[in-house]
């Protein structure tokens, strides 16, 4: 079992929103193949795919694995990216 807890700073306009919890399951995330990598799109949009995670601020969160000795260049937008790849 793996768990990632992510806290994101909200824009000023969203600071008064009620805190909320989203129960997100791995099988519900879109899977994106990028060369030697298999990436689960946890939050945000990437290459036409959109996650079901509800967001108040723009972020891109992906979790992925590369094949053994795999290499791949991934293009991300600046300032909105977290990638956890192992």
Domain spans in the chain, listed from the N-terminal domain onward? 25-69
Per the CB < 8 A criterion, the answer to whether 45 and 62 are in contact is: no
pLDDT of 2 over the 70 cut: no
| Residue 85 pLDDT class (50, 70, 90 cuts) | low
pLDDT of 7 over the 70 cut: yes
pTM over 0.75: no
pLDDT per residue over 12-64, tens digit each? 888 888 888 888 888 889 998 877 778 889 888 888 899 998 888 878 888 87
Q: What is the DSSP string of 74-85?
A: ----TTSEEEEE
Q: What residues does 41 pair with on adjacent strands?
A: 62
């Amino acid at each position: 079992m793996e768990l990632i807890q992510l806290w994101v700073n909200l824009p000023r306009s969203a600071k008064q929103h009620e805190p909320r919890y989203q129960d997100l399951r791995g099988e519900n995330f879109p899977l994106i193949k990028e060369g030697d990598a298999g990436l689960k799109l946890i939050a945000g949009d990437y290459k036409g795919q959109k996650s079901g995670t509800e967001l108040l601020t723009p972020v891109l969160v992906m979790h992925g694995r590369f094949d053994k000795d795999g290499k791949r260049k991934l293009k991300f937008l600046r300032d909105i990216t977290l990638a956890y790849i192992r």
